[in-house]
A and B are shown apart, each in its own frame.
Chain A
């Protein structure tokens, strides 16, 4: 079955360390997205990519970085510059057009202490 795989489900890191969250899709979608979810805040867009080797900052990109070397993969790195990295991170993909719904992975819960 086609879908989006995020790994790991839970991730623990010490403050000051960079950490990379994995996102892979086999839906043949052009566009991929990273959202951050905090209680009571809804989903906030971190980065998105409409095509391989190209990506744009979302609303809260500071302290994060991404790459899109392959159509199927869109890893997110949470750097030590992110002031409050503990959150639930959701990866999504879509066909990319304005009326395309997003398909979501099951998320990665990152805890930084």
Chain B
């Protein structure tokens, strides 16, 4: 079965500084990887996804992520953080053999942005 680890429960970044959120996955075949963001009391919004091809993927709100097969990682990055980026971020892996699948989520990383 697949699994996802997000090593950092909380991260605090100064506004304007760069950001990297870590995600490690476990899956035997090529994974389908996603990053979602959740504001308090809301549902999750898709930031970006990786299926195949270019290992650096661009998403919404200026986020990007890089797939590194050798490290089983899919870290999320942003060059300059804005106060509105404060939220909880979830990495997820999708896998399935029959054409359908479910997503397995990490436990999330809460991003705090300091002025």
Instruction: Give A residues with C-beta under 8 Å from B.
Output: 4, 6, 31, 33, 35, 40-43, 45, 48, 50, 58, 90, 92, 96-107, 109
The reply to whether the CB of B14 lies closer than 8 angstroms to some CB of chain A is no
Q: A43-B90, A99-B32, A107-B43 are in contact. Are A31 and B100 (CB under 8 A)?
A: yes
Taking CB atoms, residues of chain B closer than 8 Å to A98 are: 32, 94-96, 99-101
Contact A104 B102 (CB under 8 A): no
A41-B107, A42-B90, A98-B32 as given contacts; A90 in contact with B43, CB under 8 Å = yes
Taking residues whose C-beta sits less than 8 angstroms from the other chain, chain B's interface range is 20 to 34
Are A50 and B100 interface neighbours, CB within 8 A? yes
Q: A33-B102, A40-B107, A106-B43 are in contact. List 11 more A-B contacts (CB 8 A).
A: A42-B90, A43-B90, A45-B102, A50-B100, A90-B43, A96-B99, A98-B32, A98-B94, A98-B99, A98-B100, A101-B49
Complex Cα–Cα for A58 and B103 (A): 11
Complex CA gap A102/B100 in Å reads: 12
Q: For residue A58, give the distance in angstroms from its CB to the closest CB of chain B.
A: 7
A30 CB → nearest B CB, Å = 9
CB A79 to nearest CB in B, in angstroms, measures 22
Across the A-B interface, give the 8 residue pairs with the lowest CB-CB distance, nearest first: A104-B43, A42-B107, A98-B101, A98-B96, A43-B105, A104-B44, A106-B43, A42-B105
Cα–Cα distance between A91 and B78 once the two chains are bound (Å):
28
| Residue B45 CB within 8 A of the other chain | yes
Most buried by A among B44, B104, B106: B44
Q: How far does the Cβ of B3 sit from chain A's closest Cβ, in whole Å?
A: 11
Per-residue CB contact flags for chain B residues 81-107 toward chain A (1 = under 8 Å, else 0) read 000000000100011100111111111
